């Protein structure tokens, strides 16, 4: 029996006792990412549904400041993904000082994103946009906007905290390369979700000159 | 590519920087596209197409899916894409609501 299992491990399909060839923690993060992407898809489809069902959906976003700021936020998130990928690479090479430096840069990108986003929210709230009403009609505009971007912002904030914990652990030699890589998966996923929220929520609601 | 002490195939920083540049270029195209006066259906098609390319770049390179065993990819991705696609079953109902709306 043991011999058979041992043989299965090396057959061409590569399945046997470890079909995915990843650790249980990493597989767990992947499963979380799949389920979280379904959560965001549900919200995006819900937003699209109410948008289709309303003839006069508001398109209030001016080029300056909203679209420019949202593009800068996208830049922050994409760049933080690059630094995270470099942190994971440094970790695989065993360079702890660089791991911490790159994770710090990643967190900075995340914090900038949240600050710019919070400023945008404050601007919209000052204009009178609420969950249940806004100056442009169709009350669901505020509900869908704040829910979608709010859940995403929550993910970015928890991501920054998560990365902080990982960086602290790495500096004390408590976490392995796998832990850094898994935190990277989460961070890239948050970036990936924004790649859908940005065009659907912002770019399809620009105020045409 | 280089083999690290952990035995993993590790990609060089060049691939990451190149991926980042492509993601920025595609984002710039999307923002420019938003100011073209295109029919909403075509606009949606183009923006979503570009976003799916961006998502694929992030998954493949940043999230290393290209370098994982194929088993993991075919277990995770097709089922997720199918579930997300099935959600579009609600859209015809959204259009029905529009026809029923009081004008």
Determine whether the interchain pair B40/A204 forms a contact, defined as Cβ–Cβ distance below 8 Å.
Answer: yes
Instruction: Using pLDDT thresholds of 50, 70 and 90, give the confidence band for residue B100.
Output: confident
Instruction: Using pLDDT thresholds of 50, 70 and 90, give the confidence band for residue A15.
Output: low
**CA angle at residue A49 from A43 to A50, to 5 degrees?**
95
Chains A, B: CB contacts within 8 A come to: 146
User: Per-residue pLDDT tens for A92-112?
Assistant: 999 999 999 999 999 999 999
Integer Cα distance of B12 and B1 in angstroms: 6
Nearest to B5 among A74, A94, A188 (CB): A94
Report chain B residues whose CB lies below 8 A from the CB of A30: 72, 76
User: Per-residue pLDDT tens for B2-43?
Assistant: 444 444 555 689 999 999 999 999 999 999 999 999 998 999
User: Per-residue pLDDT tens for B55-77?
Assistant: 999 999 999 999 988 889 999 99
Class of domain A23-205: mainly alpha
- Has residue A6 got a pLDDT over 70? no
Q: Hey, which of A9-23, A49-63, A95-109, B81-95 has the most confident mean pLDDT? A: A95-109
**A208 class by beta-carbon count within 10 Å (0-12 exposed, 13-18 middle, 19+ buried):** exposed
Nearest to B55 among A19, A93, A195 (CB): A195
Instruction: Using pLDDT thresholds of 50, 70 and 90, give the confidence band for residue A208.
Output: confident
- Residue A176's closest chain B neighbor by CA? B6
Q: Hey, which of A1-5, A55-59, A97-101, B37-41 has the most confident mean pLDDT? A: A97-101
User: What's this model's pTM, rounded to 2 decimal places?
Assistant: 0.90
Report chain A residues whose CB lies below 8 A from the CB of B75: 20
- Residue B16's closest chain A neighbor by CA? A82
Indicate the range of A18-27, A78-87, A175-184 predicted with least confidence. Answer: A18-27
- Residue A177's closest chain B neighbor by CA? B6
Helix (H, G, I), strand (E, B) or coil at A185: helix
ipTM of the complex: 0.90
| Helices (H) then strands (E): counts for chain B | 4, 2
The ranges assigned to domains in chain A are 23-205
Report chain B residues whose CB lies below 8 A from the CB of A192: 54-55, 58-59, 63
- Look at the block and give the residue holding tokens 């999307």: B30
pLDDT of residue A31: 96
Contact A8/B at CB under 8 A:
no
């Amino acid at each position: 029996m043991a011999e058979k299992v041992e043989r299965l491990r090396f057959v061409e399909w590569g399945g046997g006792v470890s079909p995915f060839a990843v650790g249980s923690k990493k597989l767990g993060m992947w499963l979380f990412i799949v389920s979280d992407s379904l959560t965001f898809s549900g919200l995006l489809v819900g937003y699209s549904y109410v948008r289709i069902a309303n003839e006069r959906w508001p398109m209030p976003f001016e080029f300056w400041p909203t679209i420019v700021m949202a593009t800068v936020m996208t830049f922050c998130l994409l760049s933080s993904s690059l630094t995270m990928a470099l942190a994971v690479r440094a970790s695989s090479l065993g360079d702890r000082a660089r791991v911490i430096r790159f994770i710090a840069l990643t967190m900075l990108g995340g914090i900038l994103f949240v600050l710019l986003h919070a400023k945008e929210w404050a601007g919209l709230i000052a204009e009178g946009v609420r969950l249940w009403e806004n100056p442009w009609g169709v009350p669901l505009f505020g509900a869908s906007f704040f829910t979608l971007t709010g859940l995403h912002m929550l993910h970015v904030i928890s991501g920054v905290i998560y990365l902080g914990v990982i960086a602290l652990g790495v500096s004390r030699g408590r976490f392995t390369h796998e832990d850094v890589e898994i935190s990277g998966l989460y961070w890239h996923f948050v970036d990936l979700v924004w790649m859908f929220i940005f065009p659907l929520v912002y770019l399809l609601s620009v105020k045409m000159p | 590519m280089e083999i690290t002490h952990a035995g993993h195939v590790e990609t060089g920083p060049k691939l990451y920087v190149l991926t980042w540049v492509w993601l920025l270029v595609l984002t710039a195209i999307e923002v420019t596209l938003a100011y073209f006066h295109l029919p909403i259906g075509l606009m949606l098609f183009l923006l979503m197409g570009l976003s799916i390319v961006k998502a694929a770049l992030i998954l493949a390179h940043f999230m290393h899916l290209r370098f994982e065993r194929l088993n993991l990819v075919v277990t995770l991705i097709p089922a997720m894409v199918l579930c997300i696609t099935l959600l579009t079953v609600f859209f015809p109902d959204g259009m029905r609501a529009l026809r029923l709306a009081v004008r």
